[in-house]
Amino acid sequence: MPDLLLELFSEEIPARMQAKAADDLRRMVTDKLVAEGLVYEGAKAFATPRRLALTVHGIPARQPDLKTERRGPKVGAPDAAVQGFLKATGLKSLDEAKIQRDPKGDFYIGLIEKPGRDAIDVLAEILPVIIRTFPWPKSMRWGARSGKPGSLNWVRPLHAITATFGPETEEPDVVKFEVDGIQSGQTTYGHRFLAPAPISVRRFEDYEAKLLAAKVVLDPERRKDAILTDAKQLAFAQGFELVEDQNLLDEVAGLVEWPVVLMGSFEPEFLKTPDEVIRATIRNNQKCFVVRDPKTGKLASKFILVANIEAADGGATIIAGNERVIRARLSDAKFFYETDLKTKLEDRLPKFEQIVFHEKLGTQAERIKRIERLAAEIAPLVGADVAKATRAAHLAKADLLSEVVGEFPEVQGLMGKYYALAQGEDASVAAASEEHYKPQGPADRVPTDPVSVVVALADKIDTLVGFWAIDEKPTGSKDPYALRRAALGVIRLIAENALRLSLIKVAGSALAGLSVKPADASKLPSDLLAFFADRLKVQLREQGARHDLVDAVFALGGQDDLLMIVRRIEALGKFLDSDDGKNLLAGTKRASNILSIEEKKDKRSFDGAPDAALYSLSEEKALAKAIGEVKAEASAAVAKEDFAAAMSAMAKLRPPVDAFFDKVRVNDDDSKVRENRLKLLNEIRSATRAVADFSKIQD
């Protein structure tokens, strides 16, 4: 079956746009092919700085013929309706139509046959549309045609379009079309400097091989592998090891078509600046990798760059140019760092009085005071030193006003730690400057130092309560203040450090520190708790737990100790995986269903203790006795926070519940007996609520 080769050759495409653009090209072309009845076998897209390429193989040579039936007017309908039907179906007369019987009468049916077109003609029709409607995040117009209506918008000036189609065994044809004066053909170009001459290509294998010979590595993954391998080997040969950086690798692979890895150096005196600042400087300004000494783990005064050319001088000029720029940038960074060290962290804090955190929540200085106060309240609950926690909260944000963080925002917190240590602060206080932002995502490390944990909790809870108070909650996919991430951070801090906290009490304390109060302040802690419940579902679902178990535990009310909630959910999940758990759940659901039906019918609930004198069957008595024993045993176990024991107690209900439903008729003819048995069913529901609301659990 024929294959398609498509290449869009242009000026340099920004590296950050290449991967999505390749995926968009593949998706748009293949979606159109399928919509046209051309079901393909496989497709793969590629991107380099100067081209997007796509190969689609196994495309049928022609569209399938389509046959559709069109229902027409009734037999005997007016002539105008008949003529309209004949025109729409392309029939010459009603003799070519068939008649279909229907309960409403006899109708004419016309068979419309639409012959399929050659695939190459379909491609010539759809490809220009795709090129003109391509979803670049930013695009431009250029040249003399740019002023004309409908001129092409592209990320950078588009120079050539290669489009060929044909089977492997034959010479492919050019898919002929034109976009904004650019005619499709089979000519592309190699490396801008090393092989700029035009290249005639036929199909993908020929195209990829000729590009490689012309110093263009088409596949971005192959470029990444080459860069990483060469960089590691070059570093190893000099006695160092590469500091790997996947994001930088992705970006650099999008800047070169023919990667050439080189090593440069800078003066060792710059190593007095923190490693992270050196790395940020070299990475952000020159897109270069750093290396470290494997013996010390510290950075070495070397860097690795990736050039896009095989230079005649072996890269000496390129290295020298990068060294010159990096030396200047490191000099700036060193100056910023040394300047920052001259000012104590607390001396920076007054500036926060002029910086607004949020117009409704006050300045950064006010927020820092709130975090300090909340940290002092949380510290005893997690075993942290109150004085250290308060001091850490006081200083944690100070580095935001430093020169280095102003230049490199990604090192905020980390620089606070360095500056705190330099001015003689306690190690825990210093560490909290860096760690109070954590965890910032599911893969991020969770702080374990009690002082860091306290400040991290205070920071996140103040954020959540503050934005809840001014009704700036997340909606749908919009979460501009990252409140979902903050809630997940609180959950992980509590769960992974095994902390015992009442979220409602802590949220109430945070609310008390706010100058702005919501319309209904009493509802805020419970509303926020519901938000935590939703985030906990996400967290547990990612860990393989069932979200309905979260609902079953939260439905009991008053559950705001996240650690105990998680442990109860874990125990409930294990219990429901057992035969006893599954059968008891089925019995409890059956009891709840019967009660729901009868309560609706009688328009009343069946609360209250059953009358033992009305028990006439041994199964009733056995169930009542078991419920009493289990309820007491399970409640005692829950009080001791021994949820496994509570589940074991619940398991004892299974035999009497099974026997009750097997032998006892609930809706007895005697209304008093019926009511008593319904109350007994309610006791089953009540007993299981000692551990969870079983009605919320899915079968």
For 172-241, the DSSP string reads PEE---EETTEEEESEEE--TTT--SEEE--SHHHHHHHHHHTT----HHHHHHHHHHHHHHHHHHTT-E
d(CA 298, CA 287): 20
pLDDT grade for 423, boundaries at 50, 70 and 90: very high
∠ Cα 83 89 93 (to 5°): 50
Indicate the range of 1-5, 7-11, 79-83 predicted with least confidence: 79-83
Question: What's the CA dihedral at 670, 676, 678, 681 to 10 degrees?
Answer: -140
Chain segment 136-174, per-residue pLDDT in tens? 999 999 988 888 888 999 999 999 999 999 998 889 999
Architecture of domain 346-544: Orthogonal Bundle (1.10)
Architecture of domain 572-696: Orthogonal Bundle (1.10)
pLDDT score of 153: 95
Q: What is the DSSP letter of 260?
A: E
Structure tokens of 418?
């360095």
Question: What's the CA dihedral at 68, 71, 76, 82 to 10 degrees?
Answer: -70
Question: What's the CA dihedral at 371, 376, 377, 383 to 10 degrees?
Answer: 120
Maximum CA extent, the chain: 105
d(CA 398, CA 405): 10
Chain segment 510-560, per-residue pLDDT in tens? 999 998 888 777 888 888 988 998 888 888 877 777 788 888 888 877 678
Q: Containing H/E element for 156? A: none
**pTM tops 0.85:** no
DSSP letter string over 406-433?
A: HH-GGGTTHHHHHHHHHTT--HHHHHHH
pLDDT score of 572: 86
- Those residues with Cβ within 8 angstroms of residue 155's Cβ, 6 or more apart along the chain or in another chain: 10, 13, 14, 17, 21, 136, 138, 139, 140
Q: What is the DSSP letter of 284?
A: H
**Is pLDDT at 255 greater than 90 in this prediction?**
yes
* Nearest residue to 437 via CA among 420, 419, 422, 415: 415
- At the top level of CATH, the class of 2-61+118-214 is alpha beta
CATH 1.10.730 residue spans of the chain: 572-696
pLDDT score of 336: 97
CATH 3.30.70 residue spans of the chain: 2-61+118-214
Pairing mode of beta strands 66-74, 105-114: antiparallel
CATH 1.10.3210 residue spans of the chain: 346-544
pLDDT grade for 490, boundaries at 50, 70 and 90: very high
Indicate the range of 147-151, 420-424, 434-438, 493-497 predicted with least confidence: 147-151
Q: What percent of the chain has pLDDT over 90?
A: 66
**Is pLDDT at 200 greater than 80 in this prediction?**
yes
Chain segment 314-346, per-residue pLDDT in tens? 999 999 999 999 999 999 999 999 999 999 999
pLDDT score of 557: 72
Indicate the range of 132-136, 287-291, 310-314, 631-635 predicted with least confidence: 631-635
Region 250-270 average pLDDT: 97
- Are the C-beta atoms of 32 and 197 separated by less than 8 Å? no
Region 387-403 average pLDDT: 97
Summary mean pLDDT of the chain: 92
